[in-house]
Structure 1
């Protein structure tokens, strides 16, 4: 993803990577489900929707250590995750 330009497809791909990062660790996944109130069934049903993917990044933004760790794993800057959230939230 170019630093100054993020399209919806690239934003969705990056957000799916963030979701995968959250779910890859059972403790982190449990915290995500507990904090958000999302059930596994809702996760399965909505994981590919822009609003849900934006919410995943929003969740990470609320806990900066996770945002930074996720960004490092995905080899992007935290600002790219934030930019992806904004793109996904566009009407």
Structure 2
């Protein structure tokens, strides 16, 4: 195994990785390894496939009521961001 050091990483990116790692129940280091591996496997311009866990999470009843307009806006924001070239 090799080691890579990333310098000048934007603080907001680091915080987002930390939060995403916590949501997945893994370390930030593991989350970064997973993200890099997904990106390399998917290649440029390809969308990653959802995991079974992610699909099942969508089918559960929400714990509290939510704003449908906000949810729709978030979906469109996500779709728009994922279509942008890197």
The alignment's TM-score, normalised by the length of structure 1, stands at 0.30
Give the number of the structure with larger relative contact order, counting CA–CA contacts within 8 Å between residues 6 or more apart: 1
Which structure: greater helix fraction? 1
TM-score by length of 2: 0.31
| Structure whose CA Rg is larger | 2
